[in-house]
Protein backbone atom coordinates (compact mmCIF):
# COMPACT_ATOMS: atom_id res chain seq x y z
CA UNK A 1 0.00 0.00 0.00
CA UNK A 2 1.53 3.33 -0.95
CA UNK A 3 1.54 6.32 1.40
CA UNK A 4 -1.45 8.09 -0.25
CA UNK A 5 -3.55 4.93 0.01
CA UNK A 6 -2.53 4.55 3.65
CA UNK A 7 -3.49 8.17 4.36
CA UNK A 8 -6.83 8.26 2.55
CA UNK A 9 -8.07 4.67 2.97
CA UNK A 10 -7.28 3.75 6.59
CA UNK A 11 -8.73 5.18 9.81
CA UNK A 12 -5.32 6.02 11.20
CA UNK A 13 -4.43 7.75 7.91
CA UNK A 14 -7.58 9.89 8.14
CA UNK A 15 -6.72 10.76 11.74
CA UNK A 16 -3.27 11.86 10.60
CA UNK A 17 -4.86 14.02 7.86
CA UNK A 18 -7.19 15.55 10.45
CA UNK A 19 -4.26 16.20 12.82
CA UNK A 20 -1.99 17.78 10.17
CA UNK A 21 -4.76 19.94 8.68
CA UNK A 22 -5.85 20.86 12.23
CA UNK A 23 -2.28 21.93 13.04
CA UNK A 24 -2.15 24.15 9.94
CA UNK A 25 -5.53 25.72 10.85
CA UNK A 26 -4.43 26.26 14.47
CA UNK A 27 -1.33 28.04 13.09
CA UNK A 28 -3.57 30.20 10.91
CA UNK A 29 -6.04 31.21 13.65
CA UNK A 30 -3.26 32.12 16.11
CA UNK A 31 -1.31 34.01 13.42
CA UNK A 32 -4.51 35.80 12.44
CA UNK A 33 -5.13 36.80 16.07
CA UNK A 34 -1.61 38.22 16.40
CA UNK A 35 -2.17 40.27 13.22
CA UNK A 36 -5.57 41.49 14.45
CA UNK A 37 -4.18 42.54 17.84
CA UNK A 38 -2.50 45.40 15.96
CA UNK A 39 -5.86 47.15 16.34
CA UNK A 40 -4.41 48.28 19.71
CA UNK A 41 -1.60 50.06 17.92
CA UNK A 42 -1.79 53.11 15.61
CA UNK A 43 -4.34 52.55 12.77
CA UNK A 44 -1.51 52.82 10.19
CA UNK A 45 -0.01 49.58 11.57
CA UNK A 46 -2.97 47.31 10.86
CA UNK A 47 -3.79 49.15 7.63
CA UNK A 48 -0.20 48.65 6.43
CA UNK A 49 -0.33 44.98 7.45
CA UNK A 50 -3.61 44.40 5.54
CA UNK A 51 -2.23 46.33 2.56
CA UNK A 52 0.90 44.18 2.58
CA UNK A 53 -1.22 41.00 2.52
CA UNK A 54 -3.38 42.35 -0.31
CA UNK A 55 -0.32 43.33 -2.33
CA UNK A 56 0.95 39.74 -2.30
CA UNK A 57 -1.28 39.21 -5.38
CA UNK A 58 -0.95 35.66 -6.78
CA UNK A 59 0.88 34.49 -3.61
CA UNK A 60 -2.17 35.54 -1.54
CA UNK A 61 -4.40 33.48 -3.83
CA UNK A 62 -2.02 30.52 -3.46
CA UNK A 63 -2.26 30.84 0.35
CA UNK A 64 -6.07 31.13 0.16
CA UNK A 65 -6.22 28.03 -2.09
CA UNK A 66 -3.98 26.12 0.30
CA UNK A 67 -6.16 27.11 3.30
CA UNK A 68 -9.33 26.15 1.45
CA UNK A 69 -7.87 22.74 0.58
CA UNK A 70 -6.78 22.33 4.22
CA UNK A 71 -10.31 23.13 5.49
CA UNK A 72 -11.83 20.75 2.89
CA UNK A 73 -9.50 17.88 3.92
CA UNK A 74 -10.14 18.60 7.62
CA UNK A 75 -13.91 18.38 7.11
CA UNK A 76 -13.67 15.34 4.80
CA UNK A 77 -11.54 13.36 7.27
CA UNK A 78 -13.87 14.33 10.17
CA UNK A 79 -17.00 13.22 8.30
CA UNK A 80 -15.34 10.00 7.07
CA UNK A 81 -14.20 9.09 10.62
CA UNK A 82 -17.65 9.80 12.09
CA UNK A 83 -19.26 7.54 9.46
CA UNK A 84 -16.67 4.80 10.06
CA UNK A 85 -17.19 4.99 13.83
CA UNK A 86 -20.97 4.77 13.41
CA UNK A 87 -20.65 1.73 11.17
CA UNK A 88 -18.17 0.04 13.52
CA UNK A 89 -20.13 0.79 16.70
CA UNK A 90 -23.32 -1.08 15.81
CA UNK A 91 -24.67 -1.87 19.26
CA UNK A 92 -26.54 1.04 20.90
CA UNK A 93 -25.40 0.23 24.41
CA UNK A 94 -21.76 0.71 23.48
CA UNK A 95 -22.55 4.07 21.91
CA UNK A 96 -24.16 5.30 25.13
CA UNK A 97 -21.18 4.18 27.17
CA UNK A 98 -18.84 6.15 24.88
CA UNK A 99 -20.98 9.29 25.21
CA UNK A 100 -20.81 9.14 28.97
CA UNK A 101 -17.04 8.99 28.95
CA UNK A 102 -16.45 11.70 26.35
CA UNK A 103 -15.93 15.33 27.35
CA UNK A 104 -18.41 18.08 26.43
CA UNK A 105 -15.96 19.54 23.89
CA UNK A 106 -15.45 16.18 22.15
CA UNK A 107 -19.18 15.42 22.03
CA UNK A 108 -19.92 18.78 20.43
CA UNK A 109 -17.04 18.75 17.88
CA UNK A 110 -19.33 18.32 14.87
CA UNK A 111 -21.77 21.06 15.98
CA UNK A 112 -19.04 23.53 16.94
CA UNK A 113 -17.32 22.69 13.63
CA UNK A 114 -20.45 23.41 11.56
CA UNK A 115 -21.15 26.70 13.39
CA UNK A 116 -17.50 27.81 13.03
CA UNK A 117 -17.72 27.04 9.30
CA UNK A 118 -20.89 29.17 9.03
CA UNK A 119 -19.06 31.94 10.94
CA UNK A 120 -16.07 31.80 8.57
CA UNK A 121 -18.38 32.17 5.55
CA UNK A 122 -20.09 35.19 7.17
CA UNK A 123 -16.73 36.61 8.31
CA UNK A 124 -15.22 36.45 4.80
CA UNK A 125 -18.33 38.22 3.42
CA UNK A 126 -18.05 40.77 6.27
CA UNK A 127 -14.37 41.71 6.04
CA UNK A 128 -12.86 40.23 2.87
CA UNK A 129 -15.45 40.40 0.08
CA UNK A 130 -17.16 43.28 1.99
CA UNK A 131 -20.65 42.25 0.95
CA UNK A 132 -22.60 42.20 4.23
CA UNK A 133 -22.78 45.96 4.79
CA UNK A 134 -23.10 49.15 2.73
CA UNK A 135 -20.01 50.91 1.34
CA UNK A 136 -19.92 53.37 4.29
CA UNK A 137 -18.65 50.49 6.44
CA UNK A 138 -15.60 50.04 4.23
CA UNK A 139 -13.75 53.38 4.22
CA UNK A 140 -10.35 54.21 2.76
CA UNK A 141 -7.39 55.94 4.43
CA UNK A 142 -4.12 57.52 3.37
CA UNK A 143 -1.00 55.44 3.90
CA UNK A 144 2.37 56.78 2.73
CA UNK A 145 0.62 58.94 0.12
CA UNK A 146 -1.58 56.07 -1.17
CA UNK A 147 -5.28 55.50 -0.62
CA UNK A 148 -5.71 52.03 0.95
CA UNK A 149 -8.61 50.16 2.64
CA UNK A 150 -9.00 51.49 6.18
CA UNK A 151 -9.15 48.09 7.91
CA UNK A 152 -8.88 49.72 11.36
CA UNK A 153 -12.09 51.76 10.83
CA UNK A 154 -13.78 48.80 9.13
CA UNK A 155 -13.18 46.69 12.25
CA UNK A 156 -14.40 49.49 14.54
CA UNK A 157 -17.57 50.00 12.47
CA UNK A 158 -18.05 46.23 12.40
CA UNK A 159 -17.85 45.66 16.15
CA UNK A 160 -19.80 48.81 17.07
CA UNK A 161 -22.83 46.79 15.97
CA UNK A 162 -23.76 44.85 19.08
CA UNK A 163 -25.37 41.90 17.28
CA UNK A 164 -22.28 41.44 15.10
CA UNK A 165 -20.03 41.49 18.18
CA UNK A 166 -22.25 38.99 20.02
CA UNK A 167 -22.20 36.69 16.98
CA UNK A 168 -18.38 36.90 16.81
CA UNK A 169 -18.02 36.20 20.53
CA UNK A 170 -20.32 33.17 20.38
CA UNK A 171 -18.56 31.81 17.28
CA UNK A 172 -15.11 32.35 18.81
CA UNK A 173 -16.22 30.69 22.07
CA UNK A 174 -17.33 27.66 20.03
CA UNK A 175 -14.08 27.73 18.05
CA UNK A 176 -12.19 27.76 21.36
CA UNK A 177 -14.18 24.75 22.55
CA UNK A 178 -13.42 23.03 19.24
CA UNK A 179 -9.70 23.83 19.59
CA UNK A 180 -9.58 22.64 23.21
CA UNK A 181 -10.49 19.10 22.16
CA UNK A 182 -8.86 19.29 18.72
CA UNK A 183 -5.39 20.23 19.97
CA UNK A 184 -5.10 17.35 22.44
CA UNK A 185 -6.57 14.84 19.91
CA UNK A 186 -4.07 16.12 17.38
CA UNK A 187 -1.17 15.16 19.69
CA UNK A 188 -2.77 11.74 20.24
CA UNK A 189 -3.19 11.10 16.50
CA UNK A 190 0.44 11.85 15.73
CA UNK A 191 1.57 9.72 18.68
CA UNK A 192 2.88 12.57 20.85
CA UNK A 193 0.43 12.21 23.74
CA UNK A 194 1.90 9.78 26.23
CA UNK A 195 0.30 8.95 29.59
CA UNK A 196 3.09 10.75 31.45
CA UNK A 197 2.49 14.14 29.99
CA UNK A 198 -1.24 13.88 29.08
CA UNK A 199 -2.30 15.92 32.17
CA UNK A 200 0.32 18.57 31.49
CA UNK A 201 -0.72 18.71 27.80
CA UNK A 202 -4.39 19.13 28.77
CA UNK A 203 -3.57 22.02 31.11
CA UNK A 204 -1.35 23.66 28.51
CA UNK A 205 -4.06 23.29 25.85
CA UNK A 206 -6.68 24.85 28.14
CA UNK A 207 -4.36 27.77 28.99
CA UNK A 208 -3.57 28.42 25.32
CA UNK A 209 -7.28 28.21 24.39
CA UNK A 210 -8.28 30.64 27.15
CA UNK A 211 -5.61 33.08 25.93
CA UNK A 212 -6.91 32.66 22.40
CA UNK A 213 -10.47 33.47 23.45
CA UNK A 214 -9.40 36.43 25.60
CA UNK A 215 -7.26 37.86 22.77
CA UNK A 216 -10.21 37.86 20.37
CA UNK A 217 -12.66 39.02 23.03
CA UNK A 218 -10.31 41.93 23.83
CA UNK A 219 -10.56 43.13 20.21
CA UNK A 220 -14.36 42.98 20.16
CA UNK A 221 -14.73 44.28 23.75
CA UNK A 222 -12.39 47.23 23.24
CA UNK A 223 -14.51 48.50 20.35
CA UNK A 224 -17.82 47.84 22.15
CA UNK A 225 -16.59 49.64 25.25
CA UNK A 226 -15.37 52.63 23.20
CA UNK A 227 -11.70 52.07 24.12
CA UNK A 228 -10.76 51.63 20.44
CA UNK A 229 -12.35 54.37 18.34
CA UNK A 230 -12.39 55.68 14.79
CA UNK A 231 -9.15 57.62 14.23
CA UNK A 232 -9.49 58.41 10.53
CA UNK A 233 -9.67 62.26 10.43
CA UNK A 234 -12.04 62.32 7.40
CA UNK A 235 -14.49 60.04 9.19
CA UNK A 236 -14.15 61.98 12.44
CA UNK A 237 -15.06 65.19 10.59
CA UNK A 238 -18.05 63.45 8.94
CA UNK A 239 -19.18 62.17 12.35
CA UNK A 240 -18.84 65.63 13.91
CA UNK A 241 -16.05 64.51 16.28
CA UNK A 242 -13.34 66.65 14.68
CA UNK A 243 -13.48 69.96 12.95
CA UNK A 244 -11.74 71.07 9.77
CA UNK A 245 -9.26 73.95 10.24
CA UNK A 246 -11.35 76.22 7.95
CA UNK A 247 -14.66 75.60 9.75
CA UNK A 248 -16.58 78.87 10.23
CA UNK A 249 -19.11 77.37 12.64
CA UNK A 250 -16.50 76.47 15.24
CA UNK A 251 -14.71 79.80 14.88
CA UNK A 252 -18.05 81.47 15.65
CA UNK A 253 -18.54 79.20 18.65
CA UNK A 254 -15.04 79.91 19.94
CA UNK A 255 -15.58 83.66 19.40
CA UNK A 256 -18.93 83.57 21.24
CA UNK A 257 -17.39 81.73 24.21
CA UNK A 258 -14.62 84.29 24.50
Nearer Cβ to ligand HEM, position 16 or 219?
219
**Per-residue x/- track, 209-248, ligand HEM (CB under 6 A):** -------x--xx----------------------------
Should residue 56 be labelled a site residue for ligand HEM when binding is judged by CB under 6 A?
no
Should residue 70 be labelled a site residue for ligand HEM when binding is judged by CB under 6 A?
no
Of 124, 143, 173, 208, the one binding ligand HEM by CB under 6 A: 124
Should residue 23 be labelled a site residue for ligand HEM when binding is judged by CB under 6 A?
no
Task: Tell me the longest C-alpha to C-alpha distance in the chain.
Answer: 89
Rounded Cα gap, residues 102 and 81, in angstroms: 16
Contacts of 138 (CB under 8 A, 6+ apart): 130, 149, 150, 154
How is 114-173 classified by DSSP, letter by letter?
HHHHHHHHHHIIIIIS--SS-GGGS-EEEETTEEEE-HHHHHHHHHHSHHHHHHHHHHHH
Query: DSSP label at 219?
Result: H
Of 168, 183, 185, 224, the one binding ligand HEM by CB under 6 A: 168
Should residue 120 be labelled a site residue for ligand HEM when binding is judged by CB under 6 A?
yes
Q: Cβ 104 to ligand HEM, closest distance in Å?
A: 20
Using alpha carbons only, give the angle 10, 12, 64 rounded to the nearest 5 degrees: 90
Should residue 55 be labelled a site residue for ligand HEM when binding is judged by CB under 6 A?
no
Q: Is the four-CA dihedral 73, 182, 117, 110 of positive or negative sign?
A: positive
Should residue 156 be labelled a site residue for ligand HEM when binding is judged by CB under 6 A?
no
What is the binding site for ligand HEM (CB under 6 A)?
A: 29, 32, 36, 50, 64, 116, 120, 123-124, 127-128, 151, 155, 168, 172, 175, 216, 219-220
Amino acid sequence: MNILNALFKTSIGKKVIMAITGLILVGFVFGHLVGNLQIFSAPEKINAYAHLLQSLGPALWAIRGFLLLTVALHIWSAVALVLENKAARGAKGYANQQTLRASYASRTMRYSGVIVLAFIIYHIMHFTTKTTHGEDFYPMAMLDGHLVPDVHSMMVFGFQQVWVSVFYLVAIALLTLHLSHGISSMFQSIGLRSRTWATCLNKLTIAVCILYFLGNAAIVGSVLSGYVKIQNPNLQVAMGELCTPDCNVCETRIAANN
